[in-house]
Chains A and B, each alone.
Chain A
Amino acid sequence: MAYSDKVIEHAENPRNVGTLDKEDPSVGTGLVGAPACGDVMRLQIKVTDGGVIEDAKFKTFGCGSAIASSSLATEWLKGRTLDEAETIKNTDIVAELNLPPVKIHCSVLAEDAIKSAIDDYRKKQASRRAQG
């Protein structure tokens, strides 16, 4: 199976690879997938007090499509509000990267990673307010 040019481009030059401090209250971390299934994505967002994603980082264990999906997700997340970020759908990723049917699960995983990171951030904020 041949990869699309966009997948190859992202996999060869992944954007926003890295790690944010997961203890930082302004950082939300999503860790999804499983090593036994062949893909694990960790996606992190750093959110301003105004609710805007100012930074996004990822690391992914997986095939080229999984790496490209998470790389693309971080690109899309930066500058968006949390509400806007939540509207990103796996089908948007499929369309942008021309993923074939057998690789759709990579896009689903990326969507899960986004949701999980936002969720983690919101939980942290809620527990801070409860403590504060």
Chain B
Amino acid sequence: MALKLPIYMDYHATTPVDPRVLETMIPYFTEKFGNAASRSHRFGWEGEEAVGYAREQVATLINAEKPEEIVFTSGASESNNLALKGVAEFYKDKGSHIITTKVEHKAVLDTCKRLEKQGLTVTYLDVDKTGLVSVDDVRNAITDKTILVSVMLANNEVGAVQPIGEIGKLCKERGVLFHVDAVQGIGKTEFDVRAMGVDLASITAHKIYGPKGVGALYVRRSKPRVRISAQVDGGGHERGMRSGTLNVTGIVGFGKACEVLTQTWRDEVRKIEAQRNRLAERIFKNLDEVYLNGPALDSGKRLPNNLNVSFAYVEGEGLMMAIKDVAVSSGSACTSASLEPSYVLRALGVDEELAHTSIRFGLGRFTTDEEVDFVADLVVGKVKKLRDLSPLYEMAKEGIDIKSIQWAAH
């Protein structure tokens, strides 16, 4: 079978909607279009019932005790904002200190920055060279002013899976609330809010083959009962925690996406991991000076679908252009408006030179073995071609130490 181009290998960014999910959603656009808050007629009841069912599907995936612990939002950025700002506001008399890590998503980091402007103190923990936070560092950072610890389940760039269960246990011991941005890890690694002692968790549909524009915040209702101040006021939807007419169609799709994942994720992990390893093996076997960013592939501490590598002496965006039939992303500065390379790679201590040469491959449900082989061979060929074009590769081969040269910053 001929390959269909372009090939999508950027599943960390988003995923296509699964056909099973789409099919479930369609009636809710036209026939069952009711407002879930309309209590006076059948259209509204239908919507409310559909939302209720989806709430159960989402709750089941993360093993929440009750469906009522799921608060629907517009996506994980909103969920992260609501968790951090909502806790900071509600518990302001209890304390004013938040602990997080340097490799969180911007939706957490920028929210923390804003809270700092409002007078809170935030500790941004370092990570090790593979991207993992140390539980001891979390323990040492907790003070009597600490109200919340926020750590991601898995990193979106280098796939590092954080020790959530251990941090959850620690937070319980110290009486501190624990928020997890679970967006990247859901369905790819174990996540159980009860077993792991998680009090709040952000998830989103579009990373798990559901539609964009819908997500959820899990808010624990018992042991402890977690309270948050609403950040959007209005009709008091979602038990007062998030006003706004519910996106019934999106929520139905989100629920279905969670149901599919609950049934299939363990098998899916095996498939994706085998493909990711095949891709890595083929690249590493055929190229010299390729460096893995993040935890070792067989460490059990890395997302099964993530491969992040630096191809020394080949700039990331230049490589992406050379493999333009493949959709991937890069930690290169050139991909961002700021001209700064990835802050995540910097937090891992990756040299700026190497950060500029990094490429992130994200595999997913619909990735095929043929695609993996095609991408691996294409990347190997293009890296060789671009190295022939690279003055740095030539200098390195001549034995010149690139670092010894006085480069003019520009």
Query: Which one of A19, A38, A109 contacts B356 once the chains associate, using CB atoms below 8 Å?
Result: A38
Say what secondary structure dominates the interface of chain A.
mixed
Query: Which one of A11, A36, A61 contacts B390 once the chains associate, using CB atoms below 8 Å?
Result: A61
- Please report the C-alpha to C-alpha distance between residue A12 and residue B61 in the assembled complex, in whole angstroms: 46
Q: Tell yes or no: B353 within 8 A of A by CB.
A: yes
A38 lies within 8 A of B333 (CB)? yes
Q: Convert B373-410 into 0s and 1s, putting 1 for each residue whose CB lies closer than 8 angstroms to a CB of A.
A: 00000000000000011111110000000100001111
- Please report the C-alpha to C-alpha distance between residue A13 and residue B52 in the assembled complex, in whole angstroms: 57
- Tell me how far the C-beta of B148 lies from the nearest C-beta in chain A, rounded to whole angstroms: 36
- Size category of the binding interface on chain A: 20 to 34
With A35-B356, A38-B333, A40-B391 in contact, do A64 and B408 touch (Cβ < 8 Å)? Answer: no
A31 lies within 8 A of B391 (CB)? yes
From 30 to 71 in chain A, residues with beta carbon under 8 angstroms from any chain B beta carbon are 31-42, 59-64, 66-67
Nearest A residue to B341 by beta-carbon distance? A38
Q: Tell yes or no: A78 within 8 A of B by CB.
A: no
Q: Tell yes or no: A14 within 8 A of B by CB.
A: yes
B333 lies within 8 A of A34 (CB)? no
Q: Tell yes or no: A8 within 8 A of B by CB.
A: yes
Q: Convert A1-38 into 0s and 1s, putting 1 for each residue whose CB lies closer than 8 angstroms to a CB of B.
A: 00100001001101001010000000000011111111
Q: Tell yes or no: A105 within 8 A of B by CB.
A: yes
Q: Tell yes or no: B317 within 8 A of A by CB.
A: yes
With A61-B392, A102-B337 in contact, do A35 and B407 touch (Cβ < 8 Å)? Answer: yes
Query: Which one of A12, A31, A62, A108 contacts B315 once the chains associate, using CB atoms below 8 Å?
Result: A62
Residue of A14, A17, A59, A61 with most chain B CB atoms under a 10 A cut-off: A61
With A17-B388, A17-B389, A38-B315 in contact, do A64 and B321 touch (Cβ < 8 Å)? Answer: yes
Across chains A and B, the number of contacting residue pairs, with CB separation under 8 Å, is: 94
With A35-B356, A35-B407, A38-B341 in contact, do A60 and B317 touch (Cβ < 8 Å)? Answer: no
A-B complex: 9 closest residue pairs judged by Cβ atoms: A34-B407, A64-B321, A63-B317, A42-B391, A36-B352, A59-B391, A38-B356, A35-B353, A63-B334
B389 lies within 8 A of A67 (CB)? yes
- Please report the C-alpha to C-alpha distance between residue A19 and residue B316 in the assembled complex, in whole angstroms: 23
- Tell me how far the C-beta of A115 lies from the nearest C-beta in chain B, rounded to whole angstroms: 13
Q: How many residues of B contact A (CB 8 A)?
A: 31
From 334 to 387 in chain B, residues with beta carbon under 8 angstroms from any chain A beta carbon are 334, 337, 339, 341, 351-353, 356
Task: Return chain A residues, CB-CB under 8 Å to B95.
Answer: none
Nearest B residue to A63 by beta-carbon distance? B317
- Tell me how far the C-beta of B387 lies from the nearest C-beta in chain A, rounded to whole angstroms: 9
B391 lies within 8 A of A67 (CB)? no
A36 lies within 8 A of B321 (CB)? no
Q: Tell yes or no: B332 within 8 A of A by CB.
A: yes
Task: Return chain B residues, CB-CB under 8 Å to A19.
Answer: 394
- Please report the C-alpha to C-alpha distance between residue A14 and residue B324 in the assembled complex, in whole angstroms: 16
Q: Tell yes or no: B322 within 8 A of A by CB.
A: yes
Task: Return chain B residues, CB-CB under 8 Å to A8.
Answer: 321, 324
Query: Which one of A12, A37, A61, A63 contacts B391 once the chains associate, using CB atoms below 8 Å?
Result: A61
Task: Return chain A residues, CB-CB under 8 Å to B315.
Answer: 38-39, 61-63, 66
B353 lies within 8 A of A36 (CB)? yes
With A32-B408, A34-B409 in contact, do A11 and B322 touch (Cβ < 8 Å)? Answer: yes
B389 lies within 8 A of A33 (CB)? no
- Please report the C-alpha to C-alpha distance between residue A102 and residue B333 in the assembled complex, in whole angstroms: 11
Task: Return chain B residues, CB-CB under 8 Å to A42.
Answer: 391
- Tell me how far the C-beta of A130 lies from the nearest C-beta in chain B, rounded to whole angstroms: 25
B407 lies within 8 A of A36 (CB)? yes
A63 lies within 8 A of B390 (CB)? no
Residue of B321, B333, B390 with most chain A CB atoms under a 10 A cut-off: B321
- Tell me how far the C-beta of B335 lies from the nearest C-beta in chain A, rounded to whole angstroms: 9
- Please report the C-alpha to C-alpha distance between residue A71 and residue B400 in the assembled complex, in whole angstroms: 24
- Please report the C-alpha to C-alpha distance between residue A34 and residue B402 in the assembled complex, in whole angstroms: 10
- Tell me how far the C-beta of B348 lies from the nearest C-beta in chain A, rounded to whole angstroms: 16
